[in-house]
Amino acid sequence: MEIFESVLALLAGIGVFITGMNMMSSSLQKVAGPGMKKLIGKITNNRFAGVGVGASVTALIQSSAATTVMAIGFVNAGAMTLTQATAIIMGANIGTTVTGLLVSLSSLNVSLYASVLAFIGVMMMFVKKDRVKNIGGIICGLGLLFIGLDLMSASFKNDAIKDMFSNIFTAIDFPLLLLLFGVVFTAIMQSSSAMTGLIIVMASKGAIPLSNALFVILGANIGTCVTALIATIGTSINARRTGIIHLLFNLIGTILFTIVIWVLQEPIVNLLSKINNVSYEIAIFHVVFNVATTAILLPFIKYLVKLSELIVKDNKNDKEKAIRFIDDRLLATPAIAVMQVKREIENMANLAKINLIKSFEEIKTQSANYKEEIDKREDEIDYINSEITKFLIKLSPLVSGINVKQVGSYYHVVNDIERIGDHAQNFLEASIEMHDKKLSFSDRAKVELNEMFETIKKMYDIAISAFDDTKSANLEELSLLEKKTDDLKKQLSISHFERLSQENCTMELGGFFTSIISGLERVGDHLINIGYSIKDPTGNQPLSDK
């Protein structure tokens, strides 16, 4: 019965530990959101910078799995290359060693302080202020982490359970079996940090010798890849390759270290034992493993990418996705998800602009050369509009602070861009109908329409520029151009009626002319909405996420 109770206490400790890790990770992501956005924004093809970003982000959010899944989301959304993601993953493996070092502090007998931390954190979570609440979540999670470790440690006070695990590790005292143990149990717990914590506790209580613990830790590094591989289900080819690269990195590193430790087990164990604290010995070994593996494989990133391409081959039936920057996996980091929505909206705006230019060209030429292209792009615009809206609905409850205002404004911006796309489609339909009826505008009418369209193009550039960079927003010029389009509409209407009175234009052709200038004027209204969507509803300062 005592063994049964000890096993229950061990399982409870693991559960509390994982709960604390998840709470701390989730709260850290919310607090560190702006910092992560800046780090992700600095990603380049420089592999050292990528490793640094991966390590920093993981150290911030205390979860290599979250960073890897985030990288998979970016690759799936087309916002990150495989090479960049590989460097991020390598850095994430270094960043996750911070958790191991943190867990090793349990040897200092901090359970009393941990309980106080958990209490303080819970009290802070009752505060209405989001930032205080999130910091409370971090403190509470940290406290729960150590309480979980203390529960695990307490379960080993029973000599029977200690002997049970000692017998298990004696029975599987073979490197490959120990590796398999680490792989399987880490995959079940979905947390290499929890497995590391458990091994540290067992080693400190004498339930597993250091020589065995090293192989289990190596296996845990492979087992943690399961989370990333699950995250790649249903994703793009490159996203699946990212999951494979994560597995290859840990697999190659584990194979190399297994060979070295297997051959030089006694001198390595003796060297680590000089630290004279088994908890620190395991944590430091974990650091050495990940740093050394990164140093060894960093020059071979391109070959890792090529190997992943051989394993996950291109599918010729795969069609290019209209969605480029958003992915549900990014919802785990709301601040970054907001940044990606912005990029997707800009992508949608560029498609609408191309359609606007092409459709106006059709009005002038009536060649129907661009009809199929415009129709296809309009379908993409409608699809992106639908997907962004769905994503924003999921994202809205997760954001706080200035991000709430941004997300609210994005709903309106997406709708305005979609309406601009509709106007472009209307211009195309008008050109086709004019062609079928053998109608064409006079040279003077074309010049007038072109003047109004050029004004709209200038407005478009300013509106999207303002949306992209709130600090360089030139809303005054945008307003002046919008007034110019209103004036041009009146002037062109007068010119049109003059041509009608002089019988230089027909009533039927005049209907098309009036419809087009009205459409252009409405496009101008939508562009004003987009430009002013960056305004803070409570004041005159533009919203900024920079």
> At what angle are helices 82-95 and 301-311 packed, to 10 degrees?
110
Q: Return the ∠ at Cα 373 (arms to 367 and 379), rounded to 5°.
A: 135
Per-residue model confidence (pLDDT) at position 544: 40
pLDDT of residue 545: 39
- Which residue is associated with the tokens 């599918």? 315
State in Å, rounded, how far the first CA of the chain is from the last one: 59
Q: For residue 202, what are its two tokens?
A: 């067992």
CB-based burial of residue 439 (10 Å sphere; 0-12 exposed, 13-18 middle, 19+ buried)? middle
**Cβ–Cβ < 8 Å for 512, 497:** no
What pLDDT score was predicted for residue 318? 45
Q: pTM for this one?
A: 0.64
Instruction: Supply φ then ψ for residue 253, to 5 degrees.
Output: -60, -40
What pLDDT, on the 0 to 100 scale, is given for residue 319?
43
**pLDDT for the residue numbered 147:** 84
Which pLDDT does position 543 carry in this prediction?
A: 44
Domain layout of the chain by residue ranges: 2-311, 333-532
Give 542's strand partners.
Answer: 535
Q: Using an 8 Å Cβ cutoff, are 544 and 535 in contact?
A: no
- From residue 457, alpha-carbon distances to 251, 342, 358, 407 in Å are 54, 21, 12, 26
Q: What are phi and psi of 282, to 5 degrees?
A: -70, -45
* Closest residue by Cα to residue 58 from 280, 307, 285, 224: 224
Q: What's the CA gap between 1 and 300, in Å, rounded?
A: 54
SS3 content of the chain, % helix, strand, coil (to 5): 80, 0, 20
- Residue ranges of the chain with per-residue pLDDT less than 70: 1-2, 29, 31-45, 61-62, 77-79, 106-113, 234-235, 315-321, 469-473, 496, 499-508, 534-546
pLDDT value, residue 39 = 63
CB 299 within 8 A of CB 361: no
**Distances in whole angstroms, Cα of residue 534 to Cα of each of 356, 408, 409, 528:** 23, 10, 7, 11
Q: Locate tokens 């940090």: which residue?
A: 193
Q: List CB contacts of 231: < 8 A, sequence separation 6 or more.
A: 68, 69, 72, 73, 243, 329
In Å, how far are 258, 292, 455 from 66, measured between CA atoms? 27, 22, 47
- Buried-state track 268-284, b at ≥16 Cβ within 10 A, e below 16: bbeebeeeeebbbbbbb
- With CA atoms as reference, report the closest residue to 134 among 401, 488, 324: 401
CATH fold, domain 333-532, is Methane Monooxygenase Hydroxylase; Chain G, domain 1 (1.20.58)
- The predicted pLDDT at position 537 comes to 40
Q: Which of 76, 38, 83, 84 is nearest to 57 (CA)?
A: 38
The Cα 431–Cα 512 span in angstroms is 9
